[in-house]
Structure 1
Amino acid sequence: MTQPSALGPEARDAALAAMEGVAGQPELDVLVVGGGIVGVGAALDAVTRGLSTGLLEQRDLASGTSSRSSKLVHGGLRYLELLDFGLVREALQERGLLLTRLAPHLVRPVPFLYPLTHRGWERPYVGAGLALYDAMAALGKSEMGVPRHRHLSRRGVKRIAPDFDATSIAGAIKYYDCQVDDARLVVTIARTAAAHGAHVATRVKVTGFLREGERVVGVRARDLEHGRDLEVRARVVINAAGVWTDEIQELVGGRGSLHVQASKGIHLVVPRDRIRSEAGFIVRTEKSVLFVIPWGRHWIIGTTDTAWDLDKAHPAASKADIDYVLGHVNAILREPLDHDDVEGVYAGLRPLLSGESEPTSRISREHTVVTPVPGLVMIAGGKLTTYRVMGRDAVDAAAHSLKSSLNLAVRGSITHRVPLVGASDWETRQNQRVLLARRSGLHVARIDHLLGRYGGMVDEVLALVAERPSLGEPLTGTEDYLAAEVVYAVTHEAARHLDDVLTRRTRISIETFDRGVAAAPAAAALMAAELGWDDARTAEEVDHYRRRVEAERRSQAKPTDEEADEARVVVGDVV
């Protein structure tokens, strides 16, 4: 029997009470540490196998790497060239699952042009690779879900992408991958896990492990919202801390065989009208791959791939990073972009499995699961697209531990058959889009926007508008998001702070030239009414957000990583 999926303040309190055992609950079967894509994927896998499951995240859902990716669900074309066929095939199968069964309301196809710069050999070479790419997708267990690739002449490229500088190319190949709002995917998976009985609590920092002899039997943690310490007992703890994996290993005495190298990738966001094109681009650079990705009324352009050993919570993009991306994208555009065209900048850290001296751009994205001590499973590596496989593999290891130590049999994974919340009614609501617009008084374009973010859960957002018509107006300071979405982020999506709403539940922080500063007061006022903030607390949230934006802008004017980091870390997380 499913439960409500809403992750509001009351749900957080109830989850902590259940995990502490004060509600008469026994110890958990599985406790997941980390609320990124891998953590929520593991929690969903565990709870749908019939295991009592909890999840703790020290900041916000998707507050690390999982909200700062290229936002692509893809097979990884460059891994074909590395002959990593298994990784590509696995990722393409997961792409098909997400697009056609698990999250069709969140994942959508996006066209790309792969420019051909050499006459003769390159077209058959790249064409063969893309034919294999399509074949791997078509032969998967789910539908392919996207059109097959096709070849374009130089004239064909000009028709599709008039702002692409086609003077130095011999044509292109148009192919499809998919994209997703990564943070929204994480929140939706977390809500799906909660709907099936998982206990989810953010702003809880794990400070140590509970031990009985050699075995890990739970964690000590700090509730950062209320300033209190607690203990959560579990038969198995799964660590899915991403770039913080090494720090978690230190809590068990440094025992563990994983070493994670953080690799920084930065992205720029520019308005859609700055580049006239019906498709995105993918271009190889000397260090990485440059993507120019359609993103609603914007383009996302990235990325870099450089080692990072500074602050992990707030990686900073330097002026050198921004210049690097602008320089490479301008090499393929007829009209160059400059710093004034950039609406938003974000930097994220990839958790790459390391241990060798090779540069981060060549380290594999494949994941590894280890059990360094009894009762503790650690997982690291991987990529957004294959989160479900990673969660499955982590829970498989937990199941092995439960079987060998407690003789507890665990069923196999079923997440390939479990649609995420909002998926089941999405197609029906799409067909009813005009009717929903008429009933709600919103424009059809607004309904389309909501459907692309909430799927079948659009009914819950529209219920807020029906109850409070003022929530059907755009949030002051932005045209793209409704006031209702701020309220819904608090009542249903675990948003606890203004930063959560402006940077992850919405993308206002990177989709407006002022980085969301104008929208901050109105958003904070709406949140205050739901969270019981007084005027001083509300003003503090707005002030912190403004200072965070100022710190990011200063960091992005610094020439080096060290100087950018120093400018950014001046403003940490709001407490």
Structure 2
Amino acid sequence: MPVNHPIYDVVVIGGGINGVGIAVDAVGRGLSVFLCEKDDLASHTSSASSKLIHGGLRYLEHKEFRLVREALAEREVLLAKAPHIIRPLRFIMPHQPHLRPAWLIRTGLFLYDHLGKRKKLAASKSIRFAASSSPLKAEITQGFEYSDCVVDDARLVILNALQAHELGAKIATQTRCISAHQQHGLWMVELQNAQGIYHVQAKALVNAAGPWVAQFIQNNLQQKSPHGLRLVQGSHIIVPKIYAEDKAFILQNEDQRIVFAIPYLTQYTLIGTTDREYQGDLDHVQITETEIDYLLNVYNAHFKHQLTRQDIFASYSGVRSLCDDESDNPSAITRDYTLAVSQQENAAPLLSVFGGKLTTYRKLAESALKHLAIFFPEMKKPWTATALLPGAENLLSVEQLIAQIMQTVSDVPFELAFRWAHAYGSRVWIFLQAVRTLDDLGQDFAHGLYAKEVDYLVEQEWAISSQDILWRRSKLGFQFSLDEIQVLDQYLLKLHLKRAQANAA
């Protein structure tokens, strides 16, 4: 066997939340791991979520008690693992008696409070709205309030990848898996990146390609998918902040679906999501006119301040890959995950991930490793439940970290210290080392983005393009003009050339 075909215990296809979750769990158990992602980490579904770590209150109506229980328990596990990118948030549900009776909602919230362990999050309660101060329409006089969490979804992916890398996993972004086939009891995996085609071998192959999971099995492996897949588009709109409170709203609609209105990046409100069957190009998913109308109509049915299309600042869409349960209603399709292991005689196993949700990625990974345990008898025990993600180490509180940053960097604005603390946690000191003023941070690209941070993202977090930095790692894309992006692109080009020359030497 050629020496340039390294053998890994596990090769993971897909750099979304499920792929990186499985990779970090596996490498932490002593397995050698290679992960490839055809684009950037979290560049598709995992960065197009509603940014929630939640139990899924509406899933109770579909009797998905196991999923809700697992998700509720995971809220506090993940909150402890990454308090810099995850925080508690109170949700307000205006009561619409003709949609769901109060007793049904109270029962659902009682289950929501008690199905999973709840230590840090406050319990639910009934509330009344004062007509003069409530942002809701005057006829909406009462409702309910409960707890869930919000998260920077793309950074959750990146932090898991970073932890996997630091434990020894190889993370290869901008690397497409062209094909894989069995050879001498191993998977021979053919990969392609900007430098060309190369191969690695795997004792087990994990297909965590998200919306591409069935397509990968059929086209790249030349096998039949063990499960059908339903592709469901979810879209969101972003508008200027529409109410002062730092609380989210969960809005009931006539079709029995719900829409969230969530505080986002201090100055915006995020409204979503939709559910529609999707059959288009998975690499170019865009919100439809029908979805825009739907979200605006649900919002306007509840709030005094009315929105029009002119208020929409931005939008994004993602495709959820759900295991086909033959439901007629996209909203009723299970959000639970299914793991399928296939193995021919004396051949290496294939594990494929169907479905799943952001909140339960860690439990999904544990379940995946449980399926693979028979093939790796020396594998260590589960470990991720109490392991802090990068940036949570030595972090007493985000508020204290913000204060420390402002004491160290004399002229840093609060908003910048706030963003750094929430994005990087204690890892912020890697690029703030020896920084005492903003001038020490190097080139200023605008809106609080400096060369020191850019260099860190390229060197430590696999950032290559301005899109990677502005939309998935910093969320500054809303503020940057085309001219400012061009300046950043020019800097990145020079930085990549310099790194390439250093590697060649």
**TM-score scaled by length of structure 1:** 0.80
Partner of 1:232: 200
1:319/1:465 CA distance change after superposition, 3 Å: farther
Determine the structure 1 residue equivalent to 2:9: 29
Equivalent residue in structure 2 for 1:242, among 190, 210, 215: 210
- Aligned pair partner of 2:175 in 204, 228, 235: 204
Structure 2 residue 505 is the aligned partner of structure 1 residue 530: no
Give the aligned partner of residue 269 of structure 1. Answer: 238
Match of 2:33 in 1: 53
Matched, 1:146 2:118: no
Distance change in 2, residues 1:474/1:282 (3 Å):
farther
Instruction: After TM superposition, give the deviation of residue 74 of structure 1 in Å.
Output: 0.1
Equivalent residue in structure 2 for 1:257, among 219, 226, 248? 226
SS for the counterpart of 1:356 is coil
Indicate yes or no: 2:311 matched with 1:341.
yes
1:378: which partner in 2? 352
**Contact 1:271-1:299 at 8 Å conserved across structures:** yes
Q: Secondary structure of 1:219's partner?
A: strand
Equivalent residue, structure 2, for 1:73: 53
Change (3 A) 1:303 1:481: farther
Alpha-carbon deviations, 1:75-132, whole Å to 9, x = none? 00001122211111100111110112x1111100111111112299833331222122
- Does 2:75 align with 1:107? no
Does 1:290 find its partner at 2:290? no
Gaps of 5+ in 2: 500-505
- Are the equivalent residues in 2 in contact too, given 1:378–1:394 (CA < 8 A)? no
Give 2:147's match in structure 1, choosing from 144, 165, 176.
176
Q: Percent identity?
A: 32
User: Partners of 1:474 and 1:326 in 2: how far apart?
Assistant: 38
Q: Name the SS of the counterpart of 2:380 in structure 1.
A: coil
8 Å Cα contact 2:186-2:201 kept in structure 1: no
**Bigger proportion of residues as strand:** 2
Deviates more, 1:233-242 or 1:430-439: 430-439
Cα deviations across residues 418-446 of structure 1 (Å, max 9, x unaligned)?
Answer: 21111112226742533431221213442
Aligned to 1:486: 454
Secondary structure in 2 matching 1:168: coil
Of Structure 1 and Structure 2, the greater helix share is in: 1
Letter paired with 1:426: L
Q: Secondary structure at the match of 2:181?
A: strand
Structure 1 residues 430, 163: closer, same or farther in 2, change over 3 A? closer
Aligned position for 2:190: 220
Matched residue, 2:115 = 136
Tell me the alpha carbon deviations over residues 243-300 of structure 1, each in whole angstroms, 9 at most, x when there is no partner: 001111112223231222110011011121x334442110122163210011122111
SS of match in other structure, 1:508? coil
Q: Identify the range of structure 1 (437-446 vs 454-463) with the bigger mean alpha-carbon deviation.
A: 437-446
Q: CA deviation at 1:197?
A: 0.9
Check 1:124–1:396 CA distance in 2 against 1; reply closer, same or farther (3 A cut). Answer: same
Shift of 1:235: 0.5
CA change 1:287–1:471 in 2 (3 A) is farther
Distance 1:58 1:301 in 2: 29
Q: What letter matches 1:77 in structure 2?
A: L
Task: Determine if contact 1:105/1:455 at 8 Å carries over to the other structure.
Answer: yes
Inter-CA distance 385–432: structure 2 relative to 1 (3 Å threshold): closer
Which of 469, 476, 482 is equivalent to 1:517? 482
Q: What is the DSSP-based 3-state SS (H/G/I as helix, E as strand, rest coil) of the residue aligned with 2:433?
A: helix
Counterpart of 1:519 in 2: which secondary structure? helix
* CA distance in 2 between partners of 1:433 and 1:292 (Å): 27
Structure 1: how far apart are the matches of 2:438 and 2:495? 13
CA distance in 2, matches of 1:84, 1:341: 36
Match of 2:373 in 1: 399
SS in 1 for 2:482: coil
Q: Distance in 2 between matches of 1:481 and 1:330?
A: 36
Q: Secondary structure at the match of 1:29?
A: strand
Q: Which of these residues, 185, 202, 209, is aligned with residue 156 of structure 2?
A: 185
| Alpha-carbon distance in structure 2 between the residues aligned to 1:110 and 1:480 | 26
Does 2:128 align with 1:123? no
Distance 1:176 1:158, change over 3 A: farther
Residue range with higher mean Cα deviation, 367-376 or 338-347: 367-376
- Partner of 1:235, secondary structure, is strand
* Superposed displacement of residue 485, structure 1: 3.4
1:489 deviates by 1.9
**Aligned with 1:316 (options 261, 286, 292):** 286
C-alpha distance in 1 between matches for 2:192 and 2:99: 62
Q: Structure 1: where are the runs of 5+ without partners?
A: 1-19, 535-575
Distance 1:119 1:241, change over 3 A: closer
SS of 1:92's equivalent in the other structure is helix
Question: Which is further off, 143-152 or 321-330?
Answer: 143-152
Change (3 A) 1:507 1:59: same
- Within the candidate set 440, 457, 460, 2:427 is matched to 457
| Shift of residue 173, structure 1, vs aligned partner | 1.0
Q: Kindly tell me: are residues 330 and 391 of structure 1, through their superposed partners in 2, closer, same or farther at Cα, counting changes over 3 Å? A: same
| In structure 1, C-alpha distance between the alignment counterparts of 2:99 and 2:243, rounded to whole Å | 29
Q: Using a 3 Å threshold, how does the CA distance of structure 1 residues 409 and 158 change in structure 2: closer, same or farther?
A: farther
2:90 alignment partner, SS class: strand
Counterpart residue identity of residue 419, structure 1: L
Q: 2:13 matched to 1:43?
A: no
| Aligned-partner Cα distance in 2 for 1:239–1:71 | 24
Instruction: Confirm or deny that 1:164 pairs with 2:136.
Output: yes
Q: 1:149 to 1:428 in 2, by over 3 A?
A: closer
Contact 1:114 1:172 in 2 (8 A): yes
Displacement after TM superposition at 1:376 (Å): 1.1
2:385 is aligned to 416
**3-state DSSP of counterpart to 2:179:** strand
Contact 2:181 / 2:221 at 8 angstroms: preserved in 1?
no
Describe the shift of the 1:435–1:212 C-alpha distance in structure 2 as closer, same or farther (beyond 3 A): closer
| TM-score under structure 2 length normalisation | 0.91
- C-alpha contact 2:401 2:421 (8 A) present in aligned 1: no
Equivalent residues, number = 490
Distance in 1 of aligned mates of 2:32 and 2:50? 33
CA positional deviation for 1:61? 0.2
The change in CA–CA distance for 1:75 and 1:242 in structure 2 (over 3 A counts) is same
Question: How far does residue 468 in structure 1 lie from its aligned partner after superposition?
Answer: 7.7
> C-alpha distance in 1, partners of 2:494/2:395?
30
CA distance in 1, matches of 2:159, 2:305: 39
Which amino acid counterpart does residue 36 of structure 2 have in structure 1?
L
1:222 partner letter: Q
Shift of 1:52: 0.8
